[in-house]
Amino acid sequence: MDVIPSIDLLRGNVVRLQHGDFTLITTYGDPEAVLDGLDVPRGSRLHVVDLEGSRSGKPSEVGVVRRLARRDLRVQVGGGIRSVADARTWIDAGAEKVVVGTVAADAPEVLRAIVDDLGAERVIAAVDVRDGVVRVAGWERDARASLAEVLARVESLGIQEALVTDIRRDGALRGPSFDLYRSLSVECGGHAAARARSTAAAWPPHSISIIASGGVSTLSDVVSLARLGVDCVVGKALLERRIDLREARARVATPNAIPERIVPCLDVRDGRVVKGVSFTNIRDAGDPVECAMRYEAEGADELVILDISATDAGKRTALDTVRRVAEALFIPLTVGGGVRSIDDFRALLRAGADRVGINTAALRDPSLLSRCAAEFGVQAVVLSCDAKRLNGRFEAIVRSGKEASGVDAVEWCKRAKELGAGEILLTSVDRDGTNLGYDVELLRAVSSVLKVGVIASGGAGKLKDFREAIEAGGARAVLAASLFHDRKLSIGEVKDYLEGEGIPVRR
Amino acid sequence: MNITLIDSPVANVANIARALRTAGAGLRITRDAGEIASARKLVLPGVGSFVAAMRWLEETSIDIAIKRAVHSGASLLGICVGHQLLFDVSYEMGTTPGLGLVRGDVRKFEGPLPVPQIGWNRVTSSVLPNASYYFVNSYAVLDSPHAIARADYGGPFVAAVQKGRVFGVQFHPEKSSKAGLQVLRNFVAWT
């Protein structure tokens, strides 16, 4: 799959419009300078939108496209192509392909004429969708055909690619509409669900390649789309350095190489597994070693032990619990809870933990993270951050979910990463123990500004919660405690489900 | 006592010992160069710095003992940095010669992905179980004529190597669940 850098042009400059509104403009400057800054290599595809053209219906950036084509870029240009002459203008300027929107949706006879003149391989059909309805003319009015009708029409002309934009998501950095692209991927046979149905006579109904556009704002978005068999164009997120083009292309080359992790968690107190709702109403739930062994046998990719003992005697018991669990386990073990010093950290590693989570103590003394990273390596250091919606933001909560710290959780996670945290275990205090689903907004708020992985925690209840945490939330691991412990779902069921949805898991 | 586990201070010996025992090994854990030189089946673990691990082997003359054992027909399994030590040279902090038992050199990941690589990664092999294994590494051998398993982290790298009776695995079999234990079981049972 490919990641196609995208620039919008207005009066010779790279710009962005918010929600397609010509009054909400951000200007980034000269196109060639912008592309140099983005490290777009020779031979790369480049998506160019002529914004003035899309409004006026006349090609307005021909000179710029000619310059870009001379830089050995494979330019695909769209915006306001209403006739064979318009399309010809762009191809004559050196564009490799034209992106035809309004005409594809509204005027099939003109689309046919463009295909006859240029050849179908030089035409990409652009379909802009808002709330399920195809929009045309710079997004300013509804089209007369449905998405399925437009796709069927362009396919019948031999066109091989469709650029599908969710207007509500475009430029908003909220993430692409995975549901839309998953259903398109199924209809186009690019997804496991379509292959499973391949015995049906007319299935899949389409064979066109889908290029996603709109809302792609993180590396995780790009990878998740590639797993659905969907290419994507990336604009604002590249301009704002949220996505590195080289890194994104490396990841989409093998989007399934790195499996997403399913991480059961044992909350342990005084040597027993316990489970509470929102950190209270704690009840006994079994022997940690038995639980750990069952989870590994079920396919757990990692185990987390959170020690919630309040007393010093409890902490000593916890070390013994870690030792006993580590003895029985052949997957990575992360331990957190009550780690106050580098000595506590070392003691847990010696007891058999591979990684140690630090929470309250790191907020009180952030240098603890950097000191542990220097001594034991970043791979051993996990920031455990409990976050709660407070005062219109996410606030870090300390002392086992009891006390607001006054610190912004997203900012704190960013800082912790800089100090040496190799991964963030991010728990929603609001959702913990409720089975209402992970707090996807919290996950995305943190994962979209961090390069290190986020372990989603708090609220898992249904199968789709796991998918949403990974796709929309950008989490690299999903943690659950009571759900697995109470056998409402097994790790195997979660893995089967994710795999069926195109998300790779370890087998 | 069919396996001699080299008791390197630059390694997670306890975890590997436990995994080897689970895989059916009778273990002797030692730093004695004489015992190592006369061993029939050796495991060389290692984590952290190649330079520190190699320096320890040289200071204790265990480097010579390992080579002597291999030359007289012993089998050897290197794990993680122990795997890297099998090769000709590492470019971690300058240029450091390794044991030179297997062709190839150890280089830092130069792709665009963050280092260290921490986590599960899919390994393809005609010899080992095709599965995901657990990796923690910033350095790797990108190619070797003796590669028997490969993985990809912003570019291909060697996940496992075999030349005659010398084996190496870049991943942590002791943290790789069933697939990792199977690799150890194969080595323990190998004659």
Q: What is the pLDDT of residue B1?
A: 61
pLDDT in tens, B107-133: 999 888 888 888 999 999 999 999 999
pLDDT at A417: 94
**pLDDT surpassing 80 at residue A307:** yes
DSSP state string for A261-293 = EEEEEEEEETTEEEEEETTEEEEEEE-HHHHHH
Give me the residues of A, 445-464, that contact B with CB < 8 A.
Answer: 451-453
| Contact at CB, A330 and B175, closer than 8 angstroms | yes
Q: For residue B58, indicate whether it is catalytic.
A: no
B34 at interface of A, judged by CB pairs closer than 8 A: no
CA Rg value for chain A: 26
- Which residue among B80, B83, B92, B146 is the active-site one? B80
| Beta carbons of A301 and B114 less than 8 Å apart | no
B120–A423 CB contact, under 8 Å: no
Alpha helices in chain B (DSSP H): 13-22, 33-37, 50-59, 62-71, 81-84, 177-189
A247 contacts chain B (CB < 8 A): yes
Half-sphere exposure of A116 (CA within 13 A, CB side): 9
Neighbouring C-beta atoms of residue A240, cutoff 10 Å: 13
Q: What is the pLDDT of residues B66-103, one digit of tens each?
A: 999 999 999 999 999 999 999 999 998 899 999 999 99
Dihedral of alpha carbons A285, A288, A293, A297, sign = positive
The string of DSSP letters for B105-147 reads: EEEE--SSS-SSEEEEEEEEESSS-SEEEEEEESEEE---TTE
pLDDT at B185: 97
pLDDT of A132 higher than 80:
no
Please state, in angstroms and rounded to a whole number, the distance separating the CA atoms of residues B140 and B84.
Answer: 7
Is pLDDT above 90 for A411?
Answer: yes
Query: Which pLDDT value is given to residue A170?
Result: 61
Contact status, residue A328 vs residue A282, Cβ threshold 8 Å: no
The pLDDT of residue A458 is above 80: yes
- Within 13 Å, how many C-alpha atoms sit on residue A462's CB side? 5
B59 catalytically annotated: no
| Tokens, residue A132 | 């399920």
Tell me what pLDDT residue B109 has: 92
Question: A353, A323 in Cβ contact below 8 A?
Answer: no
CB contact (8 A) between residue B15 and residue A352? yes
Q: Give me the sign of the Cα torsion angle A251, A253, A257, A260.
A: positive
CA distance A479 to A501: 19
pLDDT value of residue A143:
63
Residue A217 CA: distances (Å) to CA of A226, A440, A444, B89, B96:
14, 15, 10, 41, 42
| Residues 6 or more apart in contact with residue B56 via CB below 8 angstroms | B8, B9, B10, B62
Residue-wise pLDDT tens digits, A227-277 = 999 999 999 899 999 999 999 998 999 898 889 999 999 999 888 898 654
Q: Is B29 in the A-facing interface, judged by CB distances under 8 Å?
A: no
When the pLDDT of each residue in chain B is averaged and rounded to a whole number, the result is 94
Report pLDDT digits (tens) over A2-56: 999 999 999 999 999 877 788 889 999 999 999 999 999 999 999 999 999 988 8
Distance from CA of B118 to the nearest CA of A (A): 7
Contact between A379 and B116 using a beta-carbon 8 Å cutoff:
yes
The pLDDT score that the predictor gives to residue A286 is 84
* Lowest mean pLDDT segment, chosen from A58-67, A90-99, A164-173, A417-426: A164-173
Strand, coil or helix: B25: coil
The reply to whether A420 touches chain B by the CB within 8 Å rule is no
- Residue of higher predicted confidence among A446 and A279: A446
Q: Is A232:A213 a contact under the CB 8 Å cutoff?
A: yes
Among B131, B152, B181, beta carbon nearest to A330: B181
Q: Residues 272..311 of A with a Cβ closer than 8 Å to B: which?
A: 296, 301
Residues A326-346: what's their mean pLDDT? Answer: 94
Asked whether the beta carbons of residue A352 and residue B22 sit closer than 8 angstroms, the reply is no
Chain B window 103-162: which residues touch A at a Cβ cutoff of 8 Å? 111-114, 116, 118-122, 131-132, 134, 136, 151-155
Residue A278 burial (C-beta neighbours within 10 Å; 0-12, 13-18, 19+): middle
Predicted local distance difference test score (pLDDT) of residue A142: 64
**CA triplet B76, B82, B87: central angle to 5 degrees?**
80
The predicted-structure confidence for A465-477, as pLDDT tens digits, reads as follows 999 999 999 999 9
- Name which of A246, A258, A296 is nearest B121 (Cβ-Cβ): A258
Q: Does A254 touch chain B (CB under 8 A)?
A: yes
Q: CB-based contact (8 Å) between B180 and chain A?
A: yes
A 109-138 → B contacts, CB under 8 A: none
DSSP string, A43-67: T-EEEEEEHHHHHHSS---HHHHHH
Least confidently predicted of A233-242, A400-409, B54-63: A400-409
Q: At what angle do helices A440-447 and A463-471 cross, to 10 degrees?
A: 30
- Please report, as a single letter, which amino acid is at residue A7: I
The values of phi and psi at residue B139, to 5°, are -115, 155
For residue A26, give how far its alpha carbon lies from the nearest alpha carbon of chain B (Å): 29
Distance CA B38, CA B40 (A): 7
Residue with tokens 């728990």: A427
Q: Dihedrals φ, ψ of A8, to 5°? A: -100, 135
Q: What is the pLDDT of residues B151-190, one digit of tens each?
A: 999 889 999 999 999 999 999 999 999 999 999 999 999 8
| Residues in CB range of B45: below 8 A, 6 or more apart | B5, B6, B8, B11, B12, B13, B16, B79, B80, B81, B82
Q: What percent of chain A has pLDDT over 90?
A: 66
Question: Quick check: A200 pLDDT over 70?
Answer: no
Dist. CA A129–CA A163, nearest whole Å: 11
Length of chain A equals 507
Check CB contact under 8 Å for B176 and A327.
no
